[in-house]
Structure formats: structure tokens, C-alpha cells
Amino acid sequence: MAEQAGDRTNHRGIQKGERMATRIETARMTMAQAVVKFLTQQYVERDGVEQPFFAGVWGIFGHGNVAGIGQALEELKLEVAFHRPQNEQGMVHTAAAYAKMKNRMQTFACTSSIGPGATNMITGAAMATINRLPVLLLPGDIFASRRPDPVLQQLEYPLSLDVSVNDAFIPVSRFWDRINRPEQLLASLPEAMRVLTDQAETGAVTVCLPQDVQAEGYDYPAHFFEKRVHYISRIVPPAEDLQRAVEMIRNAEKPLIIAGGGVLYSEATAALSDFADGLGVPVTETQAGKGALPWNHAWNAGAIGPNGSLAANRLALEADLVIAVGTRLADFTTASHTQFQHPDVRFLSINVSSRDAHKFGALPLVGDARATLDSLRETLAAGKFRTSAGYGDRVETLKAEWDSTVDTIRAVENPADLTQANVIGLVNAASGPRDVVVCAAGGLPGDLLKLWRPVDPKAYHLEYGYSTMGYEIAGGLGVKMADPSREVYVMVGDGSYLMLHTEIVTSLEEGMKLTIVVVDNGGFQIIRKLQMSTGSPSFGNELRYRNPETGELDGPYIPIDFAANAASLGAVAMRATNEAELREALERAKSETRTVVIHVPVQKHASVPGFDSWWDVPVAEVSDVSAVREARAEYVEQEKRERFFY
């Protein structure tokens, strides 16, 4: 029987006798070219300000990306800026630091080869995710076709042929995918952008790109490459939640604010100042939140926790209401759950992340920090709420005592033999109000948190969520690229410098001048101090020769010439062994146009004390060493102060 004309279909699946109402325009390109083209069309907007989301792409080419993403970046080089680092870990740190400086409104993508090029990025991915910083990672991957299986650098996993080293990114990424067919980009990249631009979910996003699929052509819908604006809204919590929060604050006699990084990302510093001033509430700061108020603001009590100020920690011990703003309340902020000892202390938390807002059994206000603070302040001010004059006097007294303590610690007693605290004070004094200090790991972060005095919200840049050794110089480069108008002072310990100093070369490539101060105290002295506080003798934490008599690393200190090392990389190198030389070097550095490295030897075992706080580091329960047993007994007593709130 003859087919009815209306029932027959042609090879395109369109019934005969019908006509397509519209024809979908396509653009044929490789998968890699499509990735790059898509990234160039992504924009964000907040408060009416629109900007491209990606400032460019960082990458090191090799087996697995040079012929795919590498080819695409070269062909589209007029549409996207390309930057080459010296190490894949370093480029992720640079991208994340840039995003932090830009308040998460802009970042970079990072591409690597397969194998070690990819896994080098895992530390950076963990750092970005823990700190809630957006960065897009595009590691090369093994062949999807499996035709030449196994290929160079391939992990042969016995339980599945679809597993590569890139699966190691899964636990440190907020979103992870592998593109085994070129059309999968149509679903994957929009989801990647959703996560990257979501203020509550953002972190590292990893999209793995098999090297054969990178080179495959596909007819992509042309509209996939049209400009797309992602709008960042300022969410305000429901009215009933705000009213509950207002009642909590009204009933508090000694409320205390903890300002975290979310205050800066939300650009809520003015709102926080108005709240503190208008209602008489002291503000304490985390590493990520330091600078939310100028150090000399009347209600800024300084940093909180084991590396905090005596003012902040004493106020925290007495507080009956803790208002956490944009902080995830990690152990260095809460002193391992021991910093809040008022018997009836309650918690109120403002955060875009519901998970963070619910911590410590807090009344959660899930919303934007700036908008939420403004809403609370307006309601409380209308009701004429303000803390008592006596509480204000207490804050003023403690703040004055703390400021005097900092002056004493920073003061140089022996100009010929500087301490780390002296160096911090001298660098701080030499820097301008808009200049930025960058640091990440070792003993410096704790001392900087106590002693650095910023007056600008972006003048203090610490990565301490992951405390990543090697972040400092790469991160400083990201800060400088985000705002070239600012001078950037990278403060880095000798141990961290040795881990990832090669991004000095990248700063020279990019024409981005940094002033790097290498504080040389002969090794990991903060860990040595921690080690000895738990009863153990000094062991394995200093940069010493192996002693042929004992067979241990307790010989003389290794005399490392950090200035010579920096000079060999092309930096302007100086060495400052006393106060006068350091002042002169810092002044000279201001007139230099390329990266400067100042090597400053300091007293090896001098340290800044802690103030009314504790950090939970478990001590061995069984030991033949009497000092360890004594430290264990003290630990057990301190542990009893840990509190859990639900």
C-alpha cells in the first residue's frame, strides 16, 4: 500500500509537506574553540555595574591541551587574554586572588595538560573552594575514544577505564564534569556558570576536556555564543526572620559582631560601620574579614580567636549575643568552640550560604550582608535601640589597651637584630593607605592579624581558609593584576618562599611589580613552637644540615641567600639585616618598576604571644616524655571548655 505523503519523513526528520518555521543557525567549531568562545560572552551585573566575568585564561601547554585549547586560544587571541605562569598551582592561586580582590565579580579560567599538569592544580582548587572563591579549571584529559589507550601520563585504574587523575578534583570542586562528546558543552558550561556566579555555592569548578574531543568539530547553536549576563541580586531574608533577629538584638546587653570575608565580598563595609556606630556594637574580625572597618574605627575591637586581640577575645568571652556576618565560623575564629563562655550566649548569623548561616545553632538570616545589615539597622534605630554607655566604655578601654600593646610589640628594641613583629611594623609604616599586604601561611598570618593596621577594606589580603604555603607570590600577582594602581607587599616566610617562588618570573612577564619581603627565620618556626607547646622537643622543622654525629637534622642552619636567588630570576634584589637597611630598602623599592625582593633575616625564635584564647591541637595521650604528659594534662583541662551549640 502506498504511503500517505503526510506520513513520510525526510532524512532530517521533518515531515514532507511541512516547512520549518525557523531555521536554527549554527556555528561549526571545535569543542575547544567553543569553550573559549563561550567564556568571552559571560558577564555579571550587580548594583547596575556590568563587567566580563572572565578576565582571561591562564595556562601551561603540554600533552593534552596544546593542540586543543592551545589552538583555540591562539586563534581567538584577539577576544581573550592569555597568560602563562611557571607552575599550574601558582596560576590557580593567581586566579583566586584576583577573584578575591574583585569581590568574586570576576575571575580567570585555567587550562593544563593531562597528568601532573592537571594534578598540580588540585591544591589550588581546594584553596579556592574552601575560601568560596570562583575559578574555572579546564584540565586536559585522556582520550574519550580509548583508541590509543593507555596514553602518556594516563592512570590505569583497575576498576574502570573511565577514571583518570582528574577524578581527584571531585572532592575539591563545587561542580565537576567531563566532556566526552562535544555537544555536552551545551549542558555543562551553563551549569558551570551557575555555580561560579552563585554567591552561596561558588568555588572551584572543574570541566575535564579529553584531548581528542577538544579537537572534534560540531555544529553548535549560534545563540550559545551570544552575550549572557548573570545577575547578582542582593537577597534580603524574610520579614519574619528579620523581626526575630531584631528581638534578639534588643534583648542583648553585650552583643558582638564577627565580620568575615562576606562583608568585603558584599561591599558591606559602610553598612557595617553604620550598624556599629549607630547601635553601639563592637566588631571583631576574621582573617578574611580584616579591614572591614579601619583599624582605628571606634568600634573595631580587632581580630578574634587564637591569633586575635586581647580586646576582641575578652569581649567574646563576655558576649551574650554573637552576630556572625559573612563568616563560616572556622576553628581559628571560634577558638575551637571555646571563645564564647557566657552561659546564655546566643548566635545570629547573616550569610548567603544557608549551611554557614545555621552553624552554632544560630538564628539564620540567609541573605546579602549589606542589604541585611541595613534592614536590621533601620528597624533597630527606629526603635531607638543602643547598647548601654557602660558597654561602650568597656569597649573603649579594651581597645585602648590593645592599641598600646600593639605599639609595644611592633617597637624595635634592638635595631641590629629584628624580630618578625618589627618587620611587620616597618613594612606597615612604609606602605600607603591603599597598598595591599598579601600573605597565606606560617607564623606571619597570625602576627599580621594581630599587628597589621589597615585603613582600606582591600589593604589586607590573607588566604587562611586553607593556609596554603606557596600562595603568597602567586596571590600577590593576582591582587596586582586586579588593581594595578595599588602597591602590593607580599610578606612570605622562608619556608613558603622555597615552595613556590618561581611566579616572580611571571610577575616580570606581566609587568606587574611586587615588593616581596622574605622573612627568614630558619624554617617552620611557628610549627616548631606548636610542636614544643605539646611537649615534644624541636624536631624536623628548621632548615638545618644533617648532623653526621647524631644523624638528625640538628646541624648548623643552612645559609640560604634569598636575594641571590631572586636576582637570578630577574628581580631587583636587596638584603636588609637591620632596621636602617630595611627602611632604606623599602623606600628604594617604591621607585623600582619591576618586582623587588627584600631578604630580611630575623630572630629565629622570637614570637608574638596569644591573648585569652586557645586552639585545639590534640596532645599524645600516651608518652614516655614527661613534658608531653604535662602538656596532655593541660590539654584535657582546656578541652573541657569546648561548647557545642544547636
Q: Is the peptide bond before 150 cis (omega within 30 degrees of 0)?
A: yes
User: Who contacts 11 (Cβ-Cβ below 8 Å, separation ≥6)?
Assistant: none
Nearest-10 crossing angle of helices 369-382, 239-250: 60
Q: What pLDDT, on the 0 to 100 scale, is given for residue 572?
A: 98
Q: What pLDDT, on the 0 to 100 scale, is given for residue 646?
A: 81
Among candidate residues 128, 160, 133, 131, the one with its CA nearest the CA of residue 146? 160
Q: Is the pLDDT of residue 16 over 70?
A: no
CATH entry, 239-402, from 3.90.1640.20, 3.40.50.1110, 1.10.357.140, 3.40.50.1220: 3.40.50.1220
Cα atoms in the Cβ-side hemisphere of radius 13 Å centred on 479 = 26
Length of the chain: 646
The string of pLDDT tens digits covering residues 308-352 is 999 999 999 999 999 999 999 999 999 999 999 999 999 999 999
Q: Give the integer Cα–Cα distance in Å for 452 and 264.
A: 17
Q: What pLDDT, on the 0 to 100 scale, is given for residue 6?
A: 41
CATH C-level class of 26-231: alpha beta
Q: What letter does residue 625 receive in the DSSP assignment?
A: -
pTM check: above 0.75: yes
pLDDT band, residue 135 (cuts 50/70/90): very high
Strands 107-112 and 135-141: parallel
Please give the torsion angle defined by the CA atoms of residues 291, 292, 296 and 302, in that order, rounded to the nearest 10 degrees. Answer: -80
Q: Are 121 and 88 in contact (CB under 8 A)?
A: yes
Among candidate residues 58, 38, 203, the one with its CA nearest the CA of residue 117? 58
The string of pLDDT tens digits covering residues 558-602 is 999 999 999 999 999 999 999 999 999 999 999 999 999 999 999
Q: What is the mean pLDDT of residues 521-526?
A: 96
pLDDT band, residue 197 (cuts 50/70/90): very high
Strands 42-46 and 49-52: antiparallel
Q: Are 474 and 94 in contact (CB under 8 A)?
A: yes
Q: Are 370 and 271 in contact (CB under 8 A)?
A: yes
Q: Is the pLDDT of residue 172 over 60?
A: yes
Q: Other CB atoms closer than 10 Å to residue 156's CB: what's the count?
A: 10
Q: Which residue has the cell 622574605?
A: 518
Q: Are 448 and 491 in contact (CB under 8 A)?
A: yes
User: Who contacts 586 (Cβ-Cβ below 8 Å, separation ≥6)?
Assistant: 426, 427, 430, 515, 598
Q: What is the mean pLDDT of residues 177-195?
A: 98
The string of pLDDT tens digits covering residues 222-234 is 999 999 999 999 9
399-410 as b/e: b if 16+ CB within 10 A: beebbebbeebb
User: What's the whole-number average pLDDT of the chain?
Assistant: 95
Q: Give the integer Cα–Cα distance in Å for 123 and 499.
A: 13
Among candidate residues 364, 377, 368, the one with its CA nearest the CA of residue 280? 377
User: Who contacts 641 (Cβ-Cβ below 8 Å, separation ≥6)?
Assistant: 338, 341, 614
CATH C-level class of 414-522+557-601: alpha beta
Domain with CATH 3.40.50.970 in the chain: 26-231, 414-522+557-601
Q: Is the pLDDT of residue 19 over 80?
A: no
Question: What is the DSSP code string of 346-415?
Answer: EEEEEESSHHHHTGGG-EEEES-HHHHHHHHHHHHHHTT----HHHHHHHHHHHHHHHHHHHHHHS-S-T
Phi, then psi, of 414 in degrees rounded to 5: -125, 95
Strands 204-210 and 135-141: parallel
Q: Give the integer Cα–Cα distance in Å for 93 and 478.
A: 8
pLDDT band, residue 471 (cuts 50/70/90): very high
Q: Are 520 and 443 in contact (CB under 8 A)?
A: no
Q: Is the pLDDT of residue 12 over 50?
A: no
Among candidate residues 212, 210, 273, 281, the one with its CA nearest the CA of residue 252? 281
Q: What pLDDT, on the 0 to 100 scale, is given for residue 15?
A: 47
Q: What letter does residue 496 receive in the DSSP assignment?
A: H
Please report, for residues 270, 361, 375, the alpha-carbon distance to residue 245 in angstroms, rounded to integers and kept in the order given: 20, 14, 11
pLDDT band, residue 22 (cuts 50/70/90): low
C-alpha cell at 189: 558550561
Among candidate residues 237, 266, 267, 264, the one with its CA nearest the CA of residue 362? 237
Q: Give the integer Cα–Cα distance in Å for 38 and 32.
A: 10
The string of pLDDT tens digits covering residues 244-273 is 999 999 999 999 999 999 999 999 999 999
Q: For the range 221-226, what are the long-range contacts, defined as Cβ-Cβ under 8 Å and sequence gap of 24 or more? A: 221/24, 221/25, 221/26, 221/27, 221/186, 222/24, 222/25, 222/26, 222/27, 223/25, 224/27, 224/34, 224/38, 224/185, 224/186, 225/27, 225/34, 225/37, 225/38, 225/41, 226/41
Strands 42-46 and 228-231: parallel
Q: Which residue has the cell 593534552?
A: 64
C-alpha cell at 607: 614570637
Q: Where are the alpha helices (DSSP H) in 23-77?
A: 31-40, 69-75
Q: Give the integer Cα–Cα distance in Å for 559 and 78.
A: 47
- Reduced to 3 states, what is the DSSP secondary structure of residue 477? helix
Q: What letter does residue 170 receive in the DSSP assignment?
A: G
The string of pLDDT tens digits covering residues 343-383 is 999 999 999 999 999 999 999 999 999 999 999 999 999 99
Domain with CATH 3.40.50.1220 in the chain: 239-402
